[in-house]
Amino acid sequence: MKRWHDFESAQRIKRDEAVDAIRRHISSGRVKNVGEKLRYASEIEASPDEMIVFAPTKDRWGSSPMNPNAWRTQSGKPIRRSPPSR
């Protein structure tokens, strides 16, 4: 299956460019659970870092650029913020 993106592991990319590519893919009509994926795109967009690093894992969903867990700061920290404690 052809990938919808050109991101490579360890690639640094401008956050806004990554989010634009993700949103284009979401609007392509080939994505299930669009609302959920748009929330994930918003999480990536909320990263305060202008440059982010694609750091996919080996599992299927972990290798998707739509997964906020597949992105890191340039220092290697997850961009995904922990949910607030209750």
Q: In which domain, by residue range, is 23 found?
A: 12-72
Share of the chain above pLDDT 70, in %: 92
Residue 39 maps to a domain: yes
Residue 5 maps to a domain: no
pTM of the model: 0.86
- C-alpha distances out from residue 11 to 14, 38, 71, 81, Å: 10, 22, 10, 21
Rounded mean pLDDT for each run of 10 residues along the chain, 86 residues in total = 86 98 96 95 96 90 89 93 54
Q: What total of structural domains would you count in the chain? A: 1
Residue 67 maps to a domain: yes
Helices (H) and strands (E) in the chain, counts: 2, 3
Q: What pLDDT score was predicted for residue 83? A: 55
What's the rounded Cα separation, in Å, for the pair 44 and 65? 10
Q: What pLDDT score was predicted for residue 67? A: 93
